[in-house]
Structure 1
Amino acid sequence: MPTSRRAFLAAAGLTAVAGCLGNSASKTPSGPLSLPTAAERLPLPASPERLRDAARSGGPSKDGIPSIDDPEFVASDRAGFLADGDPVFGVVRDGVAKAYPQKILAQHEIVNDELAGAPVSVTYCPLTGTVQGFERGNTTFGVSGRLINSNLVMYDRHTETWWPQILATSIPGPWNGDPEIRSLREFRLIWTTWTQWTDQHPDTRVLSTDTGHAKNYGRDPYGSYNPRGGYYANDNLLFGALNESDRFAPKRVVMGLRTPDGAAAFPKDTLRQAGQLDGTVGGTPVLAVYDDRYDTGFAYLNPDGQSFDRDGTQFVDATGTSHDPDALPLTSVHTFDAMWFAWAGYYPETDVFQ
């Protein structure tokens, strides 16, 4: 098995390797750290020290995969580099829609941006198929060059603490061996296609290929999601999973969610077929609903077992009131796409509903 992403990509015959690698000068913020954190710490699958010991080099060195620290955006009618079916990661904040193309994020993994004036980091790990948004306060995040469970390990440039992306929680690392263990404040990015996003948000702004880095954004160096190819087209992993599970194919896409009481996941294709699924997380009932507009799902705590009838793209409650899938009158739970091996590797005791 290849021991680095560079070796894997070369062996796979994917010639856009240089687009994934490079050097970036770190921008170290000044002054005391001000980092928005979650009200409660998210569950860790092991001790922070064990997670640190499970880290391995992914090939590139620290900042060898350069974050985008001064992002530029263009109007949707100037995004000729995007095809209709290209994956994008979308978010709306204070009525302003933004889209981050997967083909750009595959070569940078982190965009340090602002949404409605709030500093944020948009992060993507190609090896685990996970996109996560975080409030970043007055720091920025960079790519450490290390992987845990094949997943991106970020570091903040204020304290040099490690932050595994899926876990969204700090752990010790070689540059800060005794950090405060806390979880980042997350926000949802919708994994969808360019045409689906622009159908709903024709005035969206889209991350420009003018990133300040000499990259070929015409190809994802790992392959392609549409049509699927390269790394995404088979179940071979570059690095072993933290915990192995054969319940589903390793790269089957699930949507994961966590509370301080536990973790749960549901296969995305099963939700697509069923329209809605019932399950539990940490003993609390959960309802997941499918959103045709974006081909995604949303999850809610449902302790009272409320039921909804699906009517086209709407969900109708017991009073006859219709709701969009992302606006049910329940407590929403942050959820995001992940490859099964990555989710089960971090959360081997995860609840699964399908």
Structure 2
Amino acid sequence: MHRPTRRHLLAATGITALAGCTGGGSGTDSFTRPLDLPTVDERLPLPAEPATLRDEARSGGPPKDGIPSIDEPSFIDPDAVDFLDPGDPVFGVASDGAIKAYPQKILVSHEIVNDDLDGTPVSVTYCPLTGTVQGFYRGNTEFGVSGRLINANLVMYDRTTEAWWPQILATAIPGPWNETPEVRSLREFRLIWTTWEQWREQHPETQVLSTDTGHAKNYGRDPYGSYNPRGGYYETENMIFPGRVEDDRYHRKRVVMGARAADGAVAFLKDALRENRVMTGELGNTPVVAVYDDRYDTAYVYRNPDEQSVSHEADGQIASGGSTYAPDALPLSRIHTFDAMWFAWIGYYPETNVYG
């Protein structure tokens, strides 16, 4: 039976498909080089065996590298940015020696930027179908877009061993170019999904990914719709590709702030965090606390095994143990947290604890 591709389904829903360049393929010597890739000590949870996930993969339309990663990114000063409106989404990172913003309207056409942060090789990755942005330490390799989807989510591949890496799972699985990869999980870093206005206010010295990417793309138009104002694919219940599970507790595209570790997963509805500012829950059997950060419209999740009292102050600070802290600086163990559409999160973490 003919299976629809992302290109056909975008056209059927009245959305023009992404124009990807063809290419890229694999060299025959890919396995002769060792893969020096920063990974975590404990593998992140998987919803199924790696081979089972591989069998669930489907073509997204463009071939391998048909959606081209940005491998030689250039950056400009904020005063030179003339293509962003205040409410446009950007994905920000502020680390020692590097403050950068990656505009969503550029990444929607590329999905991966192979960059470095103050000399450390990283990959910034974005899947428009699942609303997820993830940062990974990439060691001596680069990541590319495989052209495959699992749970409607981007499947990356590394250009050294050509193993598949589903973006949300951040863990290697078998694929047709490497049937027996070492199954391990990537080290991640936080990217903040915020607006250009909010990011620039907090980081006036930021560098911004330039539209000079080396590719002929129309960065003024999102083929899936718009986040400013919200509309198109991002707003409706309509799916271009199905998720792994059907769970109608919430709108499919409702945004959660999700966190997962080897011992479980937890998700907080983002709009509930905006309202409540501080929420508690459990990841596995461990108490956690989620705190909202109105500087960026984001949130952070911390392990809180002793169930310390945590409260939100009028000035946006977080009170705990008689002191106040910035929302991203509580003296608790922070768990990597990121935005995701509800269907995408629950599809990969069906046993997650959800709070809203």
**TM-score range normalised by the length of the shorter chain:** over 0.9
Following the alignment from structure 1 to structure 2, what is the Cα–Cα distance between the partners of residues 27 and 290?
43
C-alpha distance after superposition, 1:299-338 (max 9, x if no partner): 100000011221121011232x110000001000000000
Partner of 1:247: 249
Question: Does residue 11 in structure 1 map to residue 9 in structure 2?
Answer: no
Bigger Cα displacement from structure 2, 21-30 vs 156-165: 21-30
Following the alignment from structure 1 to structure 2, what is the Cα–Cα distance between the partners of residues 82 and 142?
26
Instruction: Work out whether residues 154 and 166 of structure 2, in 8 Å CA contact, stay in contact via their aligned partners in 1.
Output: yes
Instruction: Work out whether residues 76 and 206 of structure 1, in 8 Å CA contact, stay in contact via their aligned partners in 2.
Output: yes
Following the alignment from structure 2 to structure 1, what is the Cα–Cα distance between the partners of residues 246 and 128?
19
Bigger Cα displacement from structure 2, 23-32 vs 301-310: 23-32
Question: Does residue 314 in structure 1 map to residue 317 in structure 2?
Answer: yes
Deviation at 1:31, TM superposition (A): 3.6
Question: Does residue 126 in structure 1 map to residue 125 in structure 2?
Answer: no
Instruction: Work out whether residues 253 and 338 of structure 1, in 8 Å CA contact, stay in contact via their aligned partners in 2.
Output: yes
Partner of 1:207: 209
Deviation at 1:75, TM superposition (A): 0.5
Question: TM-score, normalized by length of structure 1?
Answer: 0.96
Instruction: Work out whether residues 90 and 101 of structure 2, in 8 Å CA contact, stay in contact via their aligned partners in 1.
Output: yes
Instruction: Work out whether residues 15 and 224 of structure 2, in 8 Å CA contact, stay in contact via their aligned partners in 1.
Output: yes
Instruction: Work out whether residues 24 and 65 of structure 1, in 8 Å CA contact, stay in contact via their aligned partners in 2.
Output: no
Partner of 2:144: 142
Task: Say which of 230, 236, 239 aligns to 2:238.
Answer: 236
* Amino-acid identity (%): 66
Is the partner of 1:232 in helix, strand or coil?
Answer: coil
Deviation at 1:24, TM superposition (A): 4.8
Is the partner of 2:274 in helix, strand or coil?
Answer: helix
Instruction: Work out whether residues 25 and 64 of structure 2, in 8 Å CA contact, stay in contact via their aligned partners in 1.
Output: no
Following the alignment from structure 1 to structure 2, what is the Cα–Cα distance between the partners of residues 265 and 278?
11
Task: Say which of 269, 287, 293 aligns to 1:291.
Answer: 293
Question: Does residue 224 in structure 1 map to residue 223 in structure 2?
Answer: no
Cα distance change, pair 208–2 in 1 and its aligned pair in 2 (3 A): farther
Following the alignment from structure 1 to structure 2, what is the Cα–Cα distance between the partners of residues 25 and 3?
23
Following the alignment from structure 1 to structure 2, what is the Cα–Cα distance between the partners of residues 327 and 18?
39
Is the partner of 2:204 in helix, strand or coil?
Answer: coil
C-alpha distance after superposition, 1:184-209 (max 9, x if no partner): 00000000000000000001000000
Following the alignment from structure 2 to structure 1, what is the Cα–Cα distance between the partners of residues 168 and 276?
26
Cα distance change, pair 113–244 in 1 and its aligned pair in 2 (3 A): same
Amino acid at match of 2:328: D
Following the alignment from structure 1 to structure 2, what is the Cα–Cα distance between the partners of residues 27 and 94?
35
Partner of 2:109: 107
Bigger Cα displacement from structure 2, 50-59 vs 3-12: 3-12
Partner of 1:64: 66
Following the alignment from structure 2 to structure 1, what is the Cα–Cα distance between the partners of residues 273 and 334?
17
Following the alignment from structure 2 to structure 1, what is the Cα–Cα distance between the partners of residues 205 and 23?
32
Structure 2: segments with no counterpart, 5+ residues: none
Cα distance change, pair 153–89 in 1 and its aligned pair in 2 (3 A): same
C-alpha distance after superposition, 1:203-258 (max 9, x if no partner): 10000000000000001111101111211120111111112111111110001101
Bigger Cα displacement from structure 2, 231-240 vs 287-296: 231-240
Question: TM-score, normalized by length of structure 2?
Answer: 0.96
- The residue correspondences of 1:1-354 to structure 2 (distance < 5 A) are 3-15=4-16, 17-19=17-19, 21-25=20-24, 31-311=33-313, 312-319=315-322, 321-354=323-356
Amino acid at match of 2:237: D
Q: Give the length in aligned residue pairs.
A: 351
Deviation at 1:5, TM superposition (A): 1.6
Deviation at 1:98, TM superposition (A): 0.1
C-alpha distance after superposition, 1:151-193 (max 9, x if no partner): 0000000000000000000000111001100000000000000
Structure 1: segments with no counterpart, 5+ residues: none
Instruction: Work out whether residues 35 and 160 of structure 2, in 8 Å CA contact, stay in contact via their aligned partners in 1.
Output: yes
Amino acid at match of 2:224: Y
Amino acid at match of 1:131: V
Cα distance change, pair 38–308 in 1 and its aligned pair in 2 (3 A): same
Following the alignment from structure 1 to structure 2, what is the Cα–Cα distance between the partners of residues 318 and 347?
33
Following the alignment from structure 1 to structure 2, what is the Cα–Cα distance between the partners of residues 117 and 99?
17
